[in-house]
Amino acid sequence: MNPIQKVAIFGAAGAIGRVVASELERRGIAFRAVGRSRARLDRAFGKFAQAEIFNADISDLRSAGAAAREVDTIVYCVGLPYPAHYRHPALMRTTIEAAAAMHVERIVLVSSVYGYGVPRTSRVAETHPRQPETRKGQFRKEQEDLVLDAHKNGRIQGMVMRLPDFYGPGAEQGFATLVFTAALAGKTANWIGPVTAPHEFIYVPDVAPALLHLAGSPECYGEAWNFGGPAPIAPVDFISRIYRAAGRGPKYRSVGRGVLKILGWFSPDLREVSEMMYLQETPVILDDAKLLAKLGDVRKTPYDEGIRKTIEFLRLPS
């Protein structure tokens, strides 16, 4: 019997939240879609039979507690813009407090590669040291530690899933999305950093089945789990495939540290990107052998297929 009976998705309207919701709907598992904007939640989940729409401010303990009431599992996939990354630890503290108060059994945190810092190996396993040298990496590491420490202390069963950059339907943020929109508009794509260093992308819909498989396995809690893309790929290859799928020749420019620093004088978001440049120069390529050994046959959509499906989605009338 699946121990998961009702899920609250914190950050449901984001790309990961949407695919988790779709997978829960497919499995017939009731879920609460939690976010700040009722209108956005209604647009995303209003037609889902298993969905309960719940707008809440999870920075407020009372509001977060109401969002967590009578669920057994919280899937936490709240995304924040770079200038607001400092809020990640505080929001997680509130979530844990709310979950404990409402007797929620499990929290599954969807995280990133930021906490690892600069990679010391060609592939980064869960055993790799977590020594972030950036502020955003420190915030992400602290967020993860809060979940794993809460598990260790017996407050809740906690788990972390770490993902690389992602793309696909509903993925509105990130470098890859900017390339897709530029390709469809026939414009030149901007890529931050070198275009030849190997990189890794995961197709968003692939995340939910693996996440829910882990979440439904009690023995998987108290740990972090990497889930990587189908293979490393050079950004120039990834960009070229996107333009080819859009029916155009590739057009791109690489934005280096110097240009990025100048642009940062005018844009707070770009100013925050500069400290993460190391991820483009010495990318973290995830070793997810532990997850694959646990789950066996895991779907990893090939790049050409994922790119084609993303283009088709973006061409749909809004």
Give pLDDT tens digits for 75-98.
999 999 888 999 999 999 999 999
Q: What's the rounded Cα separation, in Å, for the pair 168 and 187?
A: 20
The two three-digit tokens of residue 95, written as one number: 């979530």
Confidence band, pLDDT 50/70/90 cuts, at residue 259: low
Confidence band, pLDDT 50/70/90 cuts, at residue 108: very high
Q: What pLDDT, on the 0 to 100 scale, is given for residue 316?
A: 84
Pick the CATH number of 6-164+204-228+284-301 from 3.20.20.60, 3.40.50.720, 3.40.640.10, 3.30.70.20: 3.40.50.720
Q: Are 286 and 222 in contact (CB under 8 A)?
A: no
User: Locate tokens 């052998």: which residue?
Assistant: 289
pLDDT at 268 over 90: no
Q: Are 256 and 193 in contact (CB under 8 A)?
A: yes
Q: What pLDDT, on the 0 to 100 scale, is given for residue 174?
A: 75
Helix crossing, 61-68 with 88-101: angle to 10°?
50
Q: What pLDDT, on the 0 to 100 scale, is given for residue 23?
A: 97
4-41 per-position pLDDT tens digit: 999 999 999 999 999 999 999 999 999 999 999 999 99
Q: What pLDDT, on the 0 to 100 scale, is given for residue 190?
A: 87
The two three-digit tokens of residue 78, written as one number: 């709240």
Spell out a b/e string for 139-172, using b for 16 or more CB atoms within 10 Å of the CB, else e: bbbbbbbbbbebbeeeebbbbbbbbbbbbbbbbe
What are the angstrom distances between the C-alpha of 27 and each of 2, 18, 49, 228, 313? 11, 14, 11, 24, 23
Q: Are 192 and 255 in contact (CB under 8 A)?
A: yes
Task: Give this prediction's pTM.
Answer: 0.94
Confidence band, pLDDT 50/70/90 cuts, at residue 263: low
The beta-strand segments (E) located in 206-256 are 224-226, 252-255
